Amino acid sequence: MILIDTNVLIDILSCDENWYSWSKAALVARATEGLLINEIVYAELAPQYGSQSALDDAIAEFDLIFERAPKSALFAAGRTFDAYRKRGGTRTSLLPDFFIGAHAATADIPILTRDARRYQTYFPEVALIAPE
């Protein structure tokens, strides 16, 4: 299984001129390994669609598996946010990347992302599939 970061799906769905090719190729190359999204990715995709059924249809196109993050991941996301704030982070609410990273960390699965910076900093144990 591979947890797909929202930015990869948005790149493909919006035909992003800078990232479409990389994101599409990376997703296709890993499709046989099982592609997973969680409720955070689902929620981040929602603004792109006028209805839940339209979003569900888009997700079905990619043969994505939807899995809720376990409580252990939610706890880890909160603890990571605390560490972020102690390091001087300015955001006052939990960042989606903390939920995604904690889910991948607790499930011991890689993340497919094009923005590895925050994951490398706060979840160094998670394998990342990202541009070089």
What digits encode the pLDDT tens for the residues 114-131? 999 999 999 999 999 999
pLDDT band for position 73 (cuts 50, 70, 90):
very high
Using CA atoms, how far residue 11 sits from 59, 66, 71, 115, in Å, is 14, 19, 29, 12
pLDDT of residue 67: 95
Helices (H), the chain: 6-13, 20-30, 39-45, 52-61, 71-86, 96-107, 117-122
pTM of this prediction?
0.92
pLDDT in tens, 33-63: 999 999 999 999 999 999 999 999 988 989 9
How many domains are there within the chain? 1
Token pair recorded at residue 38: 């969680």
The domain that holds 9 is classified in CATH as 3.40.50.1010
Range of the domain at 38: 2-129
Distance CA 18, CA 54 (A): 25
